[in-house]
Amino acid sequence: MDMKEIIQGRTPEEIGDKERFRCAVCIAMIEAQDGHEVIFEVRSSTIPSQPGDVCLPGGAIEEGETARQAAVREACEELLISPKQIEIIGEADTFRTGNLMIYPFVAVIKGYQGNFNKEEVESVFTVPLKFFLETKPEEYIVSYEPQFGDDFPFDRIVGGKDYQWRQVEQKTLFYQYEYHTIWGFTALLMNSFGKILRREV
């Protein structure tokens, strides 16, 4: 084994779970009289995942499609529009946490009539883009404690069950627009998008 040849002849990869859940979202905007407005969805109360939360149009990237294709497909399915109505301007910064990867795409929707897929979406509303350029989100820290299976070998580590595990902390953002609470990943994505437009990143 030529260690030098092996190390120098490969591209470094990330250590960890490669089976990330990959999804794409669309920061979908309409052109209003006073500037662009962002379309948000309220998730249906009948779906199992995050019912009632505010989100952007989007979903899982299916096998054989690109993130961009997934963003367009999901926007069409959820907002009941055609691909011809979507102008993709570009891609914002990718969001990564744990086993989740989110690819956000910025788009302008032409001729949107306010329709939505009632099986997935409870309602839609818009927020002026300038709100995210002018408003600083509230910040809160959420701490996560490790959870162990019954067969975890505590007897093989120094300290056993009293081992001082490092606590994982995650910043959670909140925007309040009228009576709508925009928080979590959606708030993080909009905060990041606002920074891009303000040329802070």
Q: Are the C-beta atoms of 119 and 40 separated by less than 8 Å? A: no
Please tell me whether residue 19 adopts helix, strand or coil conformation. coil
Tokens 């096998």 correspond to what residue? Answer: 63
Please tell me whether residue 69 adopts helix, strand or coil conformation. helix
Tokens 């529009």 correspond to what residue? Answer: 81
pLDDT digits (tens, 9 = 90+) for 32-91: 999 999 999 999 988 877 888 999 999 999 999 999 999 999 999 999 999 999 999 999
Residue 144 pLDDT: 85
Q: How many CB atoms lie within 10 A of CB 177?
A: 17
Where do the structural domains in the chain lie, given as residue ranges?
18-149+161-197
pLDDT digits (tens, 9 = 90+) for 116-162: 999 999 999 999 999 999 999 999 999 888 889 999 999 999 999 99
- Check if CATH label 3.90.79.10 holds for domain 18-149+161-197: yes
Q: Are the C-beta atoms of 90 and 40 separated by less than 8 Å? A: no
